Amino acid sequence: MPHVKDLLKTKGSDVVTILSGARVADAIEMLIKRNIGALVVVAEKSGEYPVGIVTERDILRATQKGGSKLESLLVADVMSKDLIIAFPSDDLSYVMSTMTKNRVRHLPVMQSGVMVGLVSIGDVIKSLIHEHAHENRMLRDYIEGKYPN
């Protein structure tokens, strides 16, 4: 079974972050420009340590509530603060079940208190499909006698 560290080797470990004090309009611009669905939120004083995550869904919920105008909203006002994280050693089936159970689509990957990547449910599914296709191919080849005795 592949692990998060294997996924990060192929996907890369680039994580797009935004400061908690940034405007939601800036977050929207970054999401669109990078064609991504989430930004990891860091506090000005914490450096690269994540304090939350802001997703397209968080922004839609905030605008639907209509409490304040979009121009005045800060990322800290709309971000999800209860972060669920993954570790490089986690296997992908565990990560997928964690994401499904908690209804989240993105997990920051932490190692020794440092963020080393971000995985999405799409990344996990793509990797698991690839793994299963490889296993199926090997089993078919074995059944068809393509391996020498």
Q: Could you tell me if residue 48 is inside a domain?
A: yes
Q: Which two tokens stand for residue 35?
A: 């064609």
pTM for this prediction: 0.81
Average pLDDT over residues 141-149: 71
Cα separation of 134 and 137, whole Å? 5
Q: Could you tell me if residue 105 is inside a domain?
A: yes
Average pLDDT over residues 91-118: 94
Parent domain of 26: 4-143
Q: Could you tell me if residue 79 is inside a domain?
A: yes
**Where is pLDDT greater, at 90 or 136?**
90
Q: Could you tell me if residue 137 is inside a domain?
A: yes
For residue 118, give the nearest of 147, 145, 83, 94 by alpha carbon: 83
CATH for 92 = 3.10.580.10
Residue 110 clears pLDDT 90, i.e. is over it: yes
**Where is pLDDT greater, at 137 or 58?**
58
Counted domains in the chain:
1
Residue 72 clears pLDDT 80, i.e. is over it: yes
Q: Could you tell me if residue 94 is inside a domain?
A: yes
Q: Could you tell me if residue 71 is inside a domain?
A: yes
**Span 33-60, pLDDT tens digits:** 999 999 999 987 666 689 999 999 999 8
Q: Could you tell me if residue 149 is inside a domain?
A: no
The pLDDT score that the predictor gives to residue 119 is 95
DSSP 45-104: TTTT-EEEEEEHHHHHHHHHH-SS-GGG-BHHHHSB-S---B-TTSBHHHHHHHHHHHT-
| Residues forming a β-bridge with 62 | none
**Span 2-32, pLDDT tens digits:** 899 999 998 888 899 999 999 999 999 999 9
